Structure formats: structure tokens, C-alpha cells
């Protein structure tokens, strides 16, 4: 068994409405899971991973499930094959190269754009394959089934393919990923992104760019750029991100500090500011801003893993 319990007080202010909340997952996503591995001999292993999100601010009022990850796998010298619900390969660059790890008020703006679709982060009914790491290179391929009948109006709806190629060696990390999902008859979403990071010692600099394309809709383009820097007993996090769909543009600047009380417990603080133009109305935290408005959010929390 394993998990993370993360909670924070979030104070958000917008030009339309303010909101103060107790939130979960301000630094890491709160979760509970069970996992296991069986050695089958000859280098072959079988394993399972069941993991669900915890809404520890309200005790999971909507009910607990294993929708974070739910899979069974076989691994060996050939790599690993997984079956079940899993992250999409084209999601990973978003979180790996975001100083805020796609959590809390500091996370990059525009990740879940209208063009991104239902498979932006995870997908159901997936076959997932990882190659062994070869000289720092690794490939991931995924195919997911929409499970439509052959005589349905859109028999391919929900079908998805996604790929990620990564390189991790020493201080350098880089990756490219792309995924395509059929939404309905004649409507596809293609999400492509590139990310990289380099650890200079005094700071780890990182960033990624993405493009979401949806049939019949304007493309969404975005980026995040920032760093992680050890300062005193903790780590400073800083990021600038932007998303743009047509003329609508939203920009976010975020800074935070994480103080480790132990290997499993951290205190953290985050400040984020969002500005909109061209008809956009994105918000920081739980604030509400009008068209071309602005907002800010501050998170103060604690995370404990077990």
C-alpha cells in the first residue's frame, strides 16, 4: 500500500470574485493505491497497480475509485506491456517539465484546453508498451479502444494512439510526444509537445511547448518555462506559462518554495498571477475573472507520503 495526503489553504482573488478554499493536491496529487510484483523466473515479472485520487479536503464525498491508474502488466528483457487505464504518453512532458508538476495554483496554464479532449491526461482501455532503456533512450507506445460497435454512427470514436520518445542521461533530459484521438465521425484531436531540462547544479532549468489541434476548431498553442533551485533548506520553484487559442491569450507567472521536514513530509507555499487578453478569461486558483481580466492565488500547504 502507498499514498500521498496533500492539503492546502488557497486564497484566490479575481476581478469578478474571490474565493478562499481548503484544497487537496497543491504540491503532489493526493492518492491511495495498492501494487504488487511477482517474479515468474527467467527475468519475467507480473505486476499490478491500482491507484485512486483522494479528496482529503472533503473525505472523498463523491466516492473513491481507481481512476488514476488501474492496470496489470508483464515485464522482462523485452520491456513492459501494460493493460488498463493509464496516463497517455503525450501527457508526460507536461508534468515532467513543469516546475510545479501540473499541481496547485502554479501549474502551467492551458493544459486542459478545449482542444485537448478527454485523453489529455489519462485514457481507458489501453495497451501500453515501454521499450527497455537503451543508452538513455526509451520509447513508449499506447493504443486505446473507444469500444464502439462496428455498426455505430461513429465506430472509431474514442480510439486513440500515442507515442513518446525520451532521452535521460546525466544532467540532460529531453522528450517528444504526440497523440491522436478520434472524438466523433470526422473529428480528431492531435496533441503534440516537446520538453527538455538541464541541471546546472545551482538550478535545474526546464520547459515544454505544446500544440492541440481539433478538427473544425482553432488550434491551441502553449508553453511553460521555469526552474527548480535549491535555496537554504528547501527548493524554489518558478515558472512562466502561456496558452493561446486564436486571439485569446492567457499568461501565468508562478513562484513557490518547498521546505522538506523529512523524506516524506514537506511544507510549501505558492503564489500565481494570471493575465488575459484577446477575449480570454482563465483564472488562478478558484478565483473568477472576467473577459481580459486578471487574478491571483496563494497556496499554503503540507504534503505527507506513505
Q: What is the mean pLDDT of residues 258-272?
A: 97
* pLDDT of 115: 62
* pLDDT of 29: 96
- Does position 192 have pLDDT exceeding 90, yes or no? yes
* pLDDT of 62: 81
* pLDDT of 252: 98
Whole-number average pLDDT of the chain: 95
Nearest to 127 by CA among 90, 159, 149: 159
* pLDDT of 120: 82
Alpha helices, DSSP H only, in the chain?
Answer: 89-96
pLDDT digits (tens, 9 = 90+) for 152-170: 999 999 999 999 999 999 9
* pLDDT of 300: 98
Burial class (CB in 10 A: 0-12, 13-18, 19+), 63: exposed
pTM of the entire structure? 0.93
Q: What is the mean pLDDT of residues 274-281?
A: 96
Residues 96/103, Cβ–Cβ less than 8 Å: no
* pLDDT of 102: 92
Q: Could you tell me the CA-to-CA distances from 166 to 29, 47, 174, 179, 271 in Å, in that order?
A: 24, 24, 6, 15, 31
pLDDT digits (tens, 9 = 90+) for 82-124: 999 999 999 999 999 999 999 999 999 987 665 666 568 999 9
- Does position 259 have pLDDT exceeding 90, yes or no? yes
- Does position 7 have pLDDT exceeding 90, yes or no? yes
Tell me if residue 89 falls in helix, strand or coil: helix
* pLDDT of 61: 78
**Nearest 10 degrees: Cα torsion 288, 292, 293, 296:** 80
* pLDDT of 34: 98
* pLDDT of 112: 64
Amino acid at each position: 500500500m502507498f499514498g500521498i495526503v496533500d492539503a492546502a489553504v488557497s486564497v484566490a482573488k479575481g476581478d469578478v470574485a474571490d474565493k478562499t478554499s481548503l484544497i487537496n493536491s497543491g504540491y503532489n496529487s493526493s492518492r491511495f493505491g495498492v501494487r504488487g510484483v511477482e517474479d515468474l523466473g527467467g527475468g519475467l515479472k507480473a505486476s499490478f497497480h491500482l491507484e485512486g485520487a483522494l479528496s482529503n479536503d472533503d473525505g472523498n464525498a463523491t466516492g473513491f475509485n481507481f481512476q488514476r491508474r488501474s492496470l496489470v502488466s508483464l515485464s522482462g528483457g523485452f520491456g513492459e506491456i501494460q493493460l488498463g487505464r493509464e496516463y497517455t504518453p503525450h501527457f508526460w512532458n507536461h508534468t515532467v517539465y513543469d516546475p510545479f508538476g501540473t499541481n496547485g495554483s502554479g501549474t502551467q496554464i492551458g493544459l486542459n484546453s478545449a482542444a485537448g479532449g478527454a485523453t489529455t491526461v489519462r485514457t481507458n482501455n489501453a495497451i501500453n508498451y515501454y521499450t527497455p532503456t537503451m543508452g538513455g533512450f526509451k520509447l513508449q507506445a499506447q493504443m486505446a479502444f473507444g469500444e464502439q460497435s462496428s455498426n455505430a454512427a461513429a465506430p472509431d470514436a474514442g480510439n486513440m494512439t500515442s507515442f513518446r520518445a525520451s532521452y535521460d542521461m546525466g544532467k540532460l533530459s529531453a522528450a517528444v510526444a504526440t497523440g491522436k484521438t478520434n472524438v466523433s465521425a470526422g473529428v480528431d484531436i492531435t496533441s503534440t509537445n516537446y520538453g527538455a531540462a538541464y541541471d546546472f547544479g545551482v538550478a535545474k532549468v526546464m520547459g515544454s511547448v505544446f500544440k492541440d489541434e481539433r478538427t473544425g476548431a482553432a488550434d491551441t498553442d502553449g508553453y511553460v518555462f521555469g526552474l527548480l533551485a535549491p535555496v537554504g533548506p528547501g527548493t524554489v520553484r518558478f515558472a512562466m506559462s502561456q496558452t493561446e487559442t486564436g486571439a485569446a491569450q492567457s499568461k501565468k507567472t508562478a513562484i513557490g518554495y518547498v521546505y522538506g521536514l523529512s523524506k516524506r513530509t514537506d511544507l510549501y507555499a505558492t503564489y500565481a498571477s494570471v493575465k488575459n487578453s484577446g477575449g480570454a478569461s482563465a483564472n488562478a486558483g478558484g478565483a473568477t475573472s472576467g473577459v481580459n481580466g486578471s487574478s491571483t492565488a496563494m497556496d499554503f500547504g503540507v504534503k505527507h507520503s506513505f
